[in-house]
């Protein structure tokens, strides 16, 4: 009985390495981007394969992050119980798990979709794990660097929608990449604001100001929330979605409302400069992205 309990705990620890809640959100954006490609129909088998490949690659990146940051994680209350930081999984086991999941995820994307999508996934994994992760303790530019692999799932999903040999519409892919790229700044800075004490004590430099949560930081979240307005309506001008019909009108209305919602939360943060307002931006951003992506899918051409 004891052995069974230990095996169960071990399995749960490996699941924690993947960071399921975060990974599911990332892969969700990839799947929606895939479905937005003109001519792509809902095929549940291919959706499952794309989801699985994305989860494996994302899980690999998250595992490497936990291996590299195990000592730092041990210093912060919210991360001290992570499997590697707490010693329940060794760094060597973490590396083995990361290599296995990363390789399998890239293979699934390449074999079942196309090798361009697989190459983008491998690049995203490398950039997140080996550039962004160590850079977080060096300079706040890490957030800009990290936003690239953070947005690549949209491009990966979009590219996966094209069969091998078919010309890829890179303009459409760039638009989808741009939406998630810009979204990450108010989203992540809000998280960094809420967890500033933990992050600063661990040596992370993640806010745009060296002085911590300031008016400049709040202004930056507002600026990027404003930049989201043109990029989220761009799909209606690039042949991805259409305003024609009732669905198109509803979709455009949802996107406008979502943008106003996000902007107002950032305005409140700038006005009040408190953790509660930053937390509202953070949770608001979690709602914002799925609404925008699903609205675009509703109005797909």
Instruction: For the chain, list residues with pLDDT below 50.
Output: 1-9
pLDDT of residue 7: 41
3-state secondary structure (DSSP) of residue 96: helix
pLDDT value at residue 5: 38
Residues 12 and 152 reside in one and the same domain: yes
pLDDT at 29: 97
pLDDT digits (tens, 9 = 90+) for 81-107: 999 999 999 999 999 999 999 999 999
Q: What is the dihedral of CA 268, 179, 182, 21, to 10 degrees?
A: 80
Q: Point out which residues pair with 300 in neighbouring strands.
A: 241
pLDDT of residue 212: 80
The count of structural domains within the chain is 2
What is the domain-level CATH number for residue 39? 1.10.357.140
Are residue 194 and residue 220 in the same domain, yes or no? Answer: yes
Domain boundary residue among 168, 189, 209?
Answer: 168
Q: CA 187 to CA 34: how far, in whole Å? A: 23
Q: Does 188 lie in the same domain as 104?
A: no
pTM here is 0.92
What pLDDT is attached to residue 207? 86
Cβ neighbors of 221 (< 8 A, separation 6 or more) are 185, 186, 189, 190, 266, 269, 270, 281
Asked if residue 138 and residue 185 are part of one domain, the reply reads no
Pair (55, 197) in one structural domain? no
Domain that holds residue 27: 1-168
pLDDT tens digits, one per residue of 8-25: 348 888 999 999 988 999
Q: pLDDT value at position 102? A: 98
- Please write the tens of the pLDDT for every residue from 206-248: 888 778 899 999 999 999 999 999 999 999 999 999 999 999 9
**146 and 184 assigned to the same domain:** no
Indicate whether 164 and 20 sit together in one domain.
yes
Statement to judge: residues 32 and 119 lie in one domain? yes
Token output for 79? 């991360």
Which residue among 152, 168, 184 closes a domain?
Answer: 168
């Amino acid at each position: 009985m004891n052995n069974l309990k230990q095996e169960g705990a071990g399995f749960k620890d490996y699941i924690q390495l993947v960071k399921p809640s975060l990974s599911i959100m990332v892969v969700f954006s990839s799947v929606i981007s895939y479905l937005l490609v003109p001519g792509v129909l809902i095929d549940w088998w291919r959706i499952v394969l794309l989801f699985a490949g994305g989860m494996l690659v994302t899980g690999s990146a998250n595992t490497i992050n936990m291996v590299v940051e195990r000592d730092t994680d041990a210093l912060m209350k919210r991360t001290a119980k992570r499997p590697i930081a707490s010693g329940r999984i060794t760094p060597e086991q973490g590396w083995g798990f990361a290599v296995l999941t990363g390789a399998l995820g890239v293979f699934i994307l390449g074999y079942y979709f196309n090798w361009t999508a697989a190459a983008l996934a491998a690049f995203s994994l490398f950039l997140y794990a080996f550039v962004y992760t160590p850079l977080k303790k060096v300079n706040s530019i890490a957030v800009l660097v990290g936003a690239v692999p953070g947005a690549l799932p949209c491009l990966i999903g979009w590219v996966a929608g094209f069969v091998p040999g078919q010309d890829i519409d890179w303009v459409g892919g760039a638009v989808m990449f741009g939406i998630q790229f810009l979204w990450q700044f108010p989203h992540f800075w809000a998280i960094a604001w809420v967890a500033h004490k933990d992050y600063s004590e661990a040596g992370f430099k993640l806010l745009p100001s060296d002085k911590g949560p300031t008016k400049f930081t709040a202004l930056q979240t507002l600026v990027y929330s404003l930049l989201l307005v043109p990029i989220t309506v761009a799909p209606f001008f690039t042949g991805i979605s259409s305003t024609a019909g009732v669905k198109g009108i509803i979709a455009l209305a949802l996107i406008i409302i979502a943008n106003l919602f996000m902007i107002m939360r950032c305005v409140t943060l700038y006005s009040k400069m408190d953790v509660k307002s930053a937390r509202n931006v953070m949770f608001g951003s979690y709602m914002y992205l799925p609404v925008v992506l699903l609205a675009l899918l509703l109005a797909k051409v």
